[in-house]
Structure 1
Amino acid sequence: MSCAFVMTDPAVKRDVAAEAEWFTLAELAALALPALPHTKRGLLKVAQREGWDTRLDDDGAALSRPRRARGGGIEYHLSVLPEAAKVKLLARSKPKAAAPVADNRESA
């Protein structure tokens, strides 16, 4: 079961892409993903034109849902996004490899 990102405190800085499979249009606009408009209004036009709110997954489950947090709205599953946007989101969600630590000790 996936859990949607809920922004409760703007002072808390979290990587939305690393924590969520469901996104509001405002969150998608803030992520400035490739192949998508970078404004909420532009994203709304794309969502309406492409029917994001009526899409279903292979099991018949809706790929949009009402947002439960304050303010309402609609959340969209990442699978409705264009491939380039999904690739960017998945790249952000992968844990970053730790940089190798140099061993500065001298050999005896």
Structure 2
Amino acid sequence: MQLEMAAEELKTVVNRLRRAQGQIAGVIKMIEEGRDCEEVVTQLAAASRALDRAGFAIIATGLQNCLADLQEGDGSAETAVDRDRTRARLEKLFLSLA
């Protein structure tokens, strides 16, 4: 399963990941400076949400692409096996973010 995303979707995901990267760098700096625990946890939670949203966007795109591929399929047994494998892989990815 290869990730294929439209330019706008890709830009959104990359922006979320960059935001998370900046937030994580900020958390590291806050810890090194001995900042308040509540502030650190708040920033860490924000970084976690940004990563989750990026992951969900990627999974949603994967689901959309898989559905499109299935609609183009010929309905053979091989397609059903591929569909089951793909579903299992996507389910595993989704649960890894839950």
The TM-score normalised by the length of structure 2 is: 0.29
More helix by share: 2
More strand by share: 1
By relative contact order (CA 8 Å, sep 6+), the higher-ranking structure is 2
